[in-house]
């Protein structure tokens, strides 16, 4: 977790700097009509509503291809991702709500930053250096996604920054010592950026003044046909993983790292998500589909941003590639979506109406010494990068 800035981000910055005169960085809401032909990337800001902790804003990226990404500093939530299909028609492929109040009232993690610990911690407790820390059991007897008021429910300090000529959104907060039961004052900075290759990058950095655990991710729900366009069973997925971590009845990893070969978890070659989702395989029965961590086939050494997944939606032709420096990725196929949540534009989101690809260290790593460590100590820097890149394929 003590990594330098990934090389490909430096290249992006250098390329952007060469066309700095073509880049618009604005702190005021600007109408699309003000985007001149010689501009490439824009990032604008507008009021979004009120939260219990104060007013929140909505930040809008737009690149030269017309891709639009909207993010609020409440929970670091990605509220919209507008990308074209193979015919140039734009759709929002990110599930969410129309207004801030709906996110405040009860967001099932749509598009949100999750922390301090993304995913589950078994028994809602962990031990560091002989000291046991008890967390809220908010998922049966286990702890999920940072607790009652995790990072997804916090108002972050936000500013638009110029990242070597490229506009970026920087979010910052200090998670106080023992917030939600976690030790140490955790100083967290998250940077969102969009480039003209339709790549949305999320860069996470954190430091602490006491030994703690840290595992940050984003919980976007994707449907590449459109956020309001049925289920994701016909999406085709490739996961760059030879192994996965099987779970017990509480969806806590057993500690085993098991080969995917010969199981419904083998996505090394692209296949429909729905092909084996209702298999009688015991692990599929536990999760009611996919809700498992996959061990990525990353080059040794750590810290490199590498391909983790490719998802293709055949009707629209949209493709999403996921890249990360993390060792794992949680593939969730929306099995616990209730079919009752009303989202943007009055859309009712059905069961399995979206998929999540949460880049991460493995679930319950604080209690699994055989897994890659998530312990962060004073003097160390937690740094990870994830990127989602969108494109299309011809019919």
Q: Which residues are catalytic?
A: 219, 358
Give the DSSP H or E segment for 310: strand 306-313
Q: How long, in residues, is the chain?
A: 395
Which residue has 């009712």 as its token pair?
A: 348
- CA–CA distance, 53 with 62 (Å, rounded to integer): 28
CA atoms lying within 13 Å on the CB side of residue 257: 17
- CA–CA distance, 164 with 190 (Å, rounded to integer): 17
DSSP code for 139: B
Give the DSSP H or E segment for 127: strand 125-128
Q: Please list, residue by residue across 151-163, b when 16 or more beta carbons sit within 10 angstroms of its beta carbon and e when fewer do.
A: bbbbbbebebeeb
Closest Cα partner for 94 from 394, 395, 390?
A: 390
Cα torsion 100, 106, 109, 115 to 10°: value is 100
- CA–CA distance, 217 with 189 (Å, rounded to integer): 13
Cβ atoms of 208 and 184 within 8 Å: the answer is yes
- CA–CA distance, 374 with 377 (Å, rounded to integer): 10
- CA–CA distance, 102 with 307 (Å, rounded to integer): 34
Cβ atoms of 270 and 310 within 8 Å: the answer is yes
How much of the chain is in helix, strand and coil states, percent to nearest 5? 10, 40, 50
Cβ atoms of 268 and 242 within 8 Å: the answer is yes
Cβ atoms of 240 and 307 within 8 Å: the answer is yes
């Amino acid at each position: 977790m003590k990594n330098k800035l990934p090389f490909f981000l430096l290249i992006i910055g250098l390329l952007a700097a060469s066309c700095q005169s073509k880049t618009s960085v604005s702190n005021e809401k600007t109408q699309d009509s003000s985007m001149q032909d010689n501009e490439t990337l824009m990032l604008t800001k507008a009021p979004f509503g009120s939260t219990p902790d104060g007013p929140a804003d909505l930040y809008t990226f737009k690149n030269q291809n017309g891709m639009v990404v909207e993010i609020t500093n409440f929970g670091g939530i990605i509220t919209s991702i507008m990308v074209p299909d193979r015919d140039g028609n734009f759709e929002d492929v990110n599930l969410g709500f129309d207004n801030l109040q709906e996110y405040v009232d009860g967001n099932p993690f749509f598009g949100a930053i999750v922390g301090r610990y993304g995913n589950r911690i078994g028994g809602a407790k962990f031990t560091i250096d002989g000291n046991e820390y008890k967390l809220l059991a908010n998922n049966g007897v286990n702890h999920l996604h940072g607790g009652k008021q995790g990072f997804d429910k916090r108002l972050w300090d936000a500013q638009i920054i110029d990242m070597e000529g490229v506009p970026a959104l920087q979010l910052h907060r200090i998670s106080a010592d023992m917030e939600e039961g976690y030790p140490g004052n955790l100083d967290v900075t998250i940077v969102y950026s969009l480039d003209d290759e339709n790549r949305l990058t999320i860069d996470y950095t954190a430091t602490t003044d006491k030994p703690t655990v840290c595992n940050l991710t984003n919980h976007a729900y994707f449907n590449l046909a459109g956020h309001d366009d049925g289920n994701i069973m016909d999406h085709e997925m490739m996961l760059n993983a030879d192994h996965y971590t099987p779970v017990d009845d509480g969806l806590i990893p057993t500690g085993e790292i098991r080969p995917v070969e010969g199981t419904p978890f083998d996505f090394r070659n692209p296949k429909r998500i729905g092909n084996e989702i209702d298999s009688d395989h015991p692990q599929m029965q536990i999760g009611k589909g996919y809700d498992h961590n996959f061990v990525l086939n990353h080059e040794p050494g750590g810290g490199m941003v590498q391909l983790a997944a490719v998802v293709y939606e055949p009707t629209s032709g949209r493709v999403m590639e996921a890249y990360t420096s993390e060792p794992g990725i949680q593939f969730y196929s929306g099995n616990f979506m209730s079919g009752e949540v009303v989202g943007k534009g009055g859309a009712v989101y059905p069961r399995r109406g979206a998929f999540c690809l949460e880049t991460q260290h493995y679930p319950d790593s604080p209690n699994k010494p055989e897994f890659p460590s998530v312990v962060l100590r004073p003097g160390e820097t937690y740094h990870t990068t994830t990127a989602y890149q969108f494109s299309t394929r011809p019919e």
